[in-house]
Structures are given as C-alpha cells and as structure tokens.
Chain A
Amino acid sequence: MSGYADTNVLVSTDWVKANLGRPGIRLVEVDVDTKAFDAGHIKGAVGFNWQTQLQDQVRRDIPTKAEFERLLSQAGVSNADTVILYGDNNNWFAAYAFWLFKLYGHKDVRLMNGGRAKWLAEDDKELTVEPTRVTPTTYSASEPDLSLRALVADVLAAVKTRSANLVDVRSPDEFSGKVIAPPGMTETAQRAGHIPGARSVPWASAVQKDGTFKSIDELREIYLKGAAVDPARPTIAYCRIGERSSHTWFVLRYLLGLKDVKNYDGSWTEYGSMVGVPIER
C-alpha cells in the first residue's frame, strides 16, 4: 500500500517485533554513536562499527570484498538471509550499510523504518544488553556493483557535461559554503561550497517527525518537482563522508525507483579538497 517503487526494502518496527527470532532473519544495528549498541539493542541483533568495520582501515575506501565477506561470516549472516538494518540518527549509517550490502550483491536487505529512535519511543518494544550468540557462516559476496557508486571521475564527468542530477544532501550552511562541516566534525575539507550544478536537498527532507520516510507523493513533490531531479538522467547523491547521502540514495533509488542513482562516498571531504576542481558557492 506504500506506493514506493520497491516494496521489499523497508520494514516497520511492528514487523520486526513480530518476526523476532525467526530463522533466516538477521538484525544488524549500525550507529553513529558506537556506544549505543552495547547500552542496549534489539534481541538477536549484531552491531557493526562504521569506523572500524565498514571502511577499509588503511586506504580511504569501502571494505574490500574479502573484508566484507569476513565481517558477514563472523556476524553469522548467510547469503540467503533477510538482513534488517537499523540505527541511530534516522538510519544514517544503517543506510550506508544498506548501500554496502547492495554493492556486494546481498539479495534481501531492508531498513527498519524510523530506525532506533522509533523502536525506543514505542512502549511495546524491548531492548537487551545480552550479547547475541552467532554461528559463523561462510559468506560469499559478489564483485562490487559499481553502478551504485560514484567515484570522483564520474562526478567530474557529470560536472563537465552537466549530464547528471547532482543532489547535495548536506545542511544549507554547508551547501552555501558558510561552513565546511557541521560544528565538531573531525572529517572536513580544504574548501567550502558545493559541486557546480548541484541542487540542495537536505537529507532530512525525506523523513517525517517520527523518523519514518515521507509518503511517495511527498517524496515525488520534493525531489522530482521541487528539486527538479530528472528521472530520465543519471543521479549522483553526495554529502560530507557519504553516510547522509546513502540515506537519500536509498530514497531516490528504492522509494522513488529512479533507475540510475549513485552514491558518491568520497563526497565533500574528497571533492572539496581536490586541487583545481570547480566549486560553486
């Protein structure tokens, strides 16, 4: 009934409660605040640390295929599992993890709509501090699907030819160049501003007060009408380090159903530090 283009990428908190402990379903929590999982998580969930487990520890890059396979194997995830991702900050890093799962070809991965905060706010939903016991698996990932990922060359080509929709999901102050990053953030860039031709649609435009996604009609209005994202063209979403843009990438690709949407995980910390690239303010 949702009207979203893909109806198999979102589950409600009620659905998760009803399916707790069902074989073949794996809950994974990914938070910005890496202390949150230990303080309490949904029964049966495993926690991934975005800083140490969801990026390469040497190069600036996503985990390699082998690293991703090792992570999921140790977490007891099988290729056939339905993986439910959830986390704090309206699923920012859960959405980033979702993007990685898709990139490495996991068949059935979904976000819990509203994330950790919605679960927390509902009186009938429980948390536990009990560690989840997992039986390791032998997970095998596909080669990364680069149609989901924009590298800087793709972005520069898009700037040159003006051939793609560029969606900047950062705050208006980051977009306008008033600040390089939100206050207190350690990862920043050398220059402030935005990629030429980008439209500003802050990530939060996609969610309602309770953190769940807005209706398909509202999303169409905001992205396709308001921001004039042309569904016939390729689209690239970016933010500062690629996590908030994963959230918008999810909306554009799966809820609105645009065919060609890439997440630019290098985002402003890469683009805004490059020598000689055009920047708009």
Chain B
Amino acid sequence: MDHASRVYESILEMLPSEQNPSPLVRLNRLTPEGSELWAKLEWMNPFGSVKDRAASALIEAMERDGRLAPGRSIVEPTSGNTGLSLAAIAAVKGYGMRAVVPNKVPLEKKALLKLAGAELDVINDNLCPSPGMGDGAIGMARTHAKAQPDRYVMPNQYENRANVEAHIRTTGPEIWRQTQGKITHLFTSLGTCGTVTGCATFLKQQNPRVKIIAVQPSEGHDVPGIRNKNELHVTKLYDESLIDEVIEIDFERAYTGALELARHEGLLAGPSSGLIFEGARVVASREPVGMGVMIFCDNIFKYMSSMLKHLPALKEGTEA
C-alpha cells in the first residue's frame, strides 16, 4: 500500500490513519482577526464521513471477538453516516447490513444506504418525548439483534468503546502530527461522542492545555448525526470531564454556516460542520484561537433536501 502514489488494492486501504490522514485545510477568509482556524475534512475518507473511522473499528472489534463472521449481518441504529460506512465495508467483506434510521433522516441518506446494499427500517423516532430508554431506532435495532441472535450482531456505536478507540488511534494522532503539536483548540460536535471523547483523550495526554470545545445545536433541531446535550442520555461515550466548554448555536446557523463555508472558502461542508464552524467563530471572536482545529464530519451533497428546506432561496432560478 503506497499512500504517495495513491494506488490501492482495495478501497479499505484508503481508510484514514496517521500515515494516511484526512486533509487539514486552513480557512483564509472567514476566520476572525488574530485567530487561525483549520478544517479537518472527514469527507475525504473513502465512504465520505468521519464515521468511516468508527465503522471500521467496530467491524474489526466484532471480527476479533468472533461475533461477526461471513454469513452474518450487522444491524445498527444510525442517522445515516455510520450506516453507510458499515454497509460499504460490509459489502467489501461479504457481510449483510440492516440500518435502522429515524424518519427525520434526509431522503438522500436513506437512498444511499439502500444503494450501498443495506436493508432499511425507517422508524418514527421521537414520537413524543418519553422518559428513559427510547424505543425508537435504537430499540428496533436491539430488537432485531435480540430476536435473531444467530443472524444479527449489533455493534452499538453508542456504547462500544471501539468507537472511542478509533479516534484515540487515528484522528487524535493525525491532528497532533498535522499541527506539529501546536493545536490550541479542538472544535467538535456531539453525536455518539466517539469523536470528541477519543480526540480529547489523546490530545489532552499530549498537552493538557488543548481546549476541547463541543458545539451543540439548539433544542428542537433537525441536524442529522448530532445532539443537544439533553439528548445525550442515549450514549455511554460522553465524558464531560474531557470537555472544556459546550457552546450552543441556533440550529438554523448549521445551514447558513454551511452556505458561507461553500461561498467563501470553497469548502462544501455539511450542516454539522456549519454548526461547528459557527461555534469556533464565537470562541475566536471572544479570545484569540492560536491554532483551532474543526472536525468537518461530512460534506453537503447528501443534505441538499435539508438545505432547500432551510434556505428556500437556493431553489430560485433552478427551473427554465
């Protein structure tokens, strides 16, 4: 495998690692004076998002402990990205894949999952906020795994430590190396929290003064993949002690932020990146950010229906 020539025997060789990091790109026009912001472009991973890291680690962990073997299938609740990475890797390795997604997930993502060969269950999640354990997508995935244990295995990205370890092993070291240890701030979102917990664990070990800033959408948001802090009870991977600050941003700015990134930086980033960028901008306008790294989880293409909904002006002039 030769990352310099970029010639590969299998798509899986393109998975990110310290030797094959996702790109780190500087923002040159939208950064407030006196700060430096860099975007880590996770959509450059082979299946298009940060979740390639968790998905490959989850599959490897299940192969190692024997729960996953040819002839068996993966079942997982997902807002789309994890499912897509899992489905693609499963296709390469010859496993089946069943994705359980909340109805709110945009159509592009549902269609992409089917395209990658996943069987799809669409669930009316958040029917009405009920206390405690949701039924929802997680419940349905768990139902399949419990009812057909000889057929399905559920990696459970919300509880599985392999999700965190993927970022301790890859994302964290990549950032440390790419910034030559100069990173001062890390900006991430909160989903399963694998990214934030893994990166923070690694980076704080290198330099405890690196500030970890989590950016969350305001309540009632519809940004797939990420959560507001009060929706975090579903994940066991959230470790508050590693996070210096949680910044809340009006969720509409996830979409306007994405638009600005495209128009002024040429970064075709998705809404969760737009939100992270807006959070970084708030911090940078308050204090100098020496070298801030933002995790841009995926790009905009699979969110066009959401973008059109939130920014109807994009539709104007698109028909003869």
Contacts and interface: CB of A to CB of B under 8 A. Distances in A.
Contacts of B127: 32, 89, 182, 184
B320 interface: no
B104 to A, nearest CB: 10
A63 interface: no
B252 interface: no
Contact of A209 (B132, B142, B148): B132
Contacts of B128: 89, 171, 182, 244
A211 B146 contact: no
B172 to A, nearest CB: 32
A117 interface: yes
Interface stretch (B11-19, B30-38, B39-47, B133-141): B133-141
B207 interface: no
B235 to A, nearest CB: 15
Contacts of B143: 36, 39-40, 120, 127
In the complex, which of the residues B129, B134, B142, B146 has the most CB atoms of chain A within 10 Å of its own CB atom? B146
A210 B135 contact: no
Given A33-B123, A129-B147, A182-B127, A39 B140 contact: yes
B135 A208 contact: no
B114 interface: no
Interface residues of B, number: 20
Contacts of B132: 90, 117, 207-211
Contacts of B131: 90, 204, 207-209, 211
Given A36-B140, A88-B139, A118 B133 contact: yes
A90 B139 CA distance: 12
A35 interface: yes
B121 interface: yes
Contacts of B129: 171, 204
Given A39-B144, A182-B127, A207-B131, A120 B121 contact: no
Contacts of A89: 127-128, 130, 135
A1 interface: no
Contact of A210 (B121, B133, B139, B142): B133
Interface string A127-158: 11100000000000000000000000000000
B148 A117 contact: no
Contact of A33 (B130, B135, B142): B135
B28 interface: no
Contacts of B123: 33
A207 B147 CA distance: 27
B124 interface: yes
Give the interface SS of chain B, mostly helix, strand, loop or mixed. loop
A244 B130 CA distance: 11
A171 B127 CA distance: 12
B133 A211 contact: yes
B148 A36 contact: no
Interface in B81-100: none
A138 B305 CA distance: 54
A129 B133 CA distance: 22
B140 A117 contact: no
A204 B130 contact: yes
Interface in A83-127: 88-90, 116-118, 120-121, 125-127
Q: Which of A171, A184, A208 is packed against the most chain B CB atoms within 10 Å?
A: A184
Interface string A181-203: 01010000000000000000000
B92 to A, nearest CB: 27
With most chain A CB atoms within 10 A of its CB, the pick from B128, B135, B140 is B128
Nearest to B233: A209
Contacts of A116: 135, 139
Contacts of B144: 39-40
Contacts of A117: 132-135, 139
A125 B143 CA distance: 11
Nearest to A210: B132
A62 B84 CA distance: 44
Contact of B139 (A120, A126, A128): A120
A40 B130 contact: no
A184 B135 contact: no
Nearest to B122: A35
Contacts of A207: 131-132
Contact of B146 (A33, A118, A120, A182): A120
A126 B131 CA distance: 23
A88 B130 CA distance: 10
A117 B147 CA distance: 14
Given A128-B147, A204-B129, A210-B133, 11 more contacts: A36-B139, A40-B144, A41-B147, A88-B139, A89-B128, A90-B130, A116-B135, A117-B132, A120-B142, A127-B146, A211-B132
Query: Which 10 pairs across A and B sit closest by C-beta, in order of nearness?
Result: A40-B147, A127-B147, A40-B143, A88-B135, A127-B146, A209-B132, A117-B133, A39-B143, A211-B132, A129-B147
Interface of A: 31-33, 35-36, 39-41, 88-90, 116-118, 120-121, 125-129, 171, 182, 184, 204, 207-211, 244
